[in-house]
């Protein structure tokens, strides 16, 4: 995760327009090695030869290197009430968890062929479909509803993919196809579980939220 240091108004404008925002990222020095011919330093996922680094003094004993630490000064950040329109626009962007799902699945923007392949066997392609739901939702892709409906039809109530599909569908308020799906869900729903907080109970809560 990163913190936006500058360009907040540009970021807000991009959010309202539903566009991505290119950023220049400043990465901290993670670690370095001087004990082999390939002397290198790591800045996040990027490996740089030590000879190409300027302005950074690296002790000859890496174990003596300590990154800056200490308490943050007070008053650096203040809570602010953001406009409702901006808050709503920001919800289109992936959360930290959603971004992690996309990164772990190692997928790009899914093509129709990829989606169809993954949907033929949701159990096998669960990571790809979980990431696809995040990407399609963040882009407002019209394929989101059909993909979520097919993922929500997975039989296992404990399946993370099914839960995430339910959450996506619950946001599509007023959609007749989604409403019909949830009605069918309640029609065939078995007796509520006696175990409080069960996976089935959680799905039921999500389904109810469609009408909230």
pLDDT at 206: 93
- For residue 182, pLDDT beyond 90: yes
DSSP class of residue 158? T
Give the mean model confidence (pLDDT) for residues 70-99.
74
The alpha carbon torsion through 100, 101, 104, 107 (nearest 10 deg) reads -120
Tell which residue, 158, 164, 166, has the closest CA to residue 186: 166
Q: Could you tell me the pLDDT band of residue 87, with boundaries at 50, 70 and 90?
A: confident
pLDDT at 195: 45
CB atoms within 10 A of CB 135: 19
Q: Could you tell me the pLDDT band of residue 194, with boundaries at 50, 70 and 90?
A: very low
Q: Each residue of 114-154: pLDDT tens digit?
A: 999 999 999 899 999 999 999 999 888 999 999 999 999 98
More confident residue, 87 or 76: 87
pLDDT at 79: 58
Tell which residue, 53, 47, 2, 48, has the closest CA to residue 23: 2
Tell which residue, 24, 42, 31, 93, has the closest CA to residue 67: 31
pLDDT at 114: 96
**Whole-prediction pTM:** 0.67
- For residue 171, pLDDT beyond 70: yes
Token pair 């327009």 is found at 17
- For residue 168, pLDDT beyond 80: yes
pLDDT at 196: 47
Ranges of each domain in the chain? 23-64, 92-209
Q: Could you tell me the pLDDT band of residue 169, with boundaries at 50, 70 and 90?
A: very high
How far is it, in rounded angstroms, from Cα 165 to Cα 150? 8
């Amino acid at each position: 995760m990163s913190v936006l240091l500058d360009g907040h108004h540009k970021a807000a404008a991009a959010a309202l327009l539903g566009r991505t925002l290119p950023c220049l990222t400043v990465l901290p020095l993670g670690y370095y090695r001087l004990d082999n011919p390939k002397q290198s330093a790591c800045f996040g996922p990027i490996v740089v030869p030590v000879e190409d680094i300027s302005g950074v003094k690296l002790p000859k004993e890496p174990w003596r290197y300590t990154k800056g630490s200490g308490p943050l000064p007070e008053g650096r950040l203040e809570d602010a009430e953001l406009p409702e329109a901006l808050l709503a626009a920001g919800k289109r962007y992936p959360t930290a968890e959603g971004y992690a799902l996309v990164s772990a699945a190692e997928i790009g923007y899914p093509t129709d062929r990829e989606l169809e392949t993954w949907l033929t066997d949701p159990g096998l392609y669960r990571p790809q479909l979980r990431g696809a739901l995040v990407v399609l939702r963040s882009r407002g892709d019209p394929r989101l509803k059909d993909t979520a409906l097919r993922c929500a039809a997975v039989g296992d109530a404990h399946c993370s993919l099914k839960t995430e599909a339910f959450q996506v569908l619950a946001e599509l308020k007023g959609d007749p196809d989604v409403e019909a799906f949830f009605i069918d869900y309640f029609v065939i729903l078995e007796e509520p579980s006696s175990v409080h907080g069960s996976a089935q109970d959680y799905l039921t809560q999500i389904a109810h939220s469609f009408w909230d």
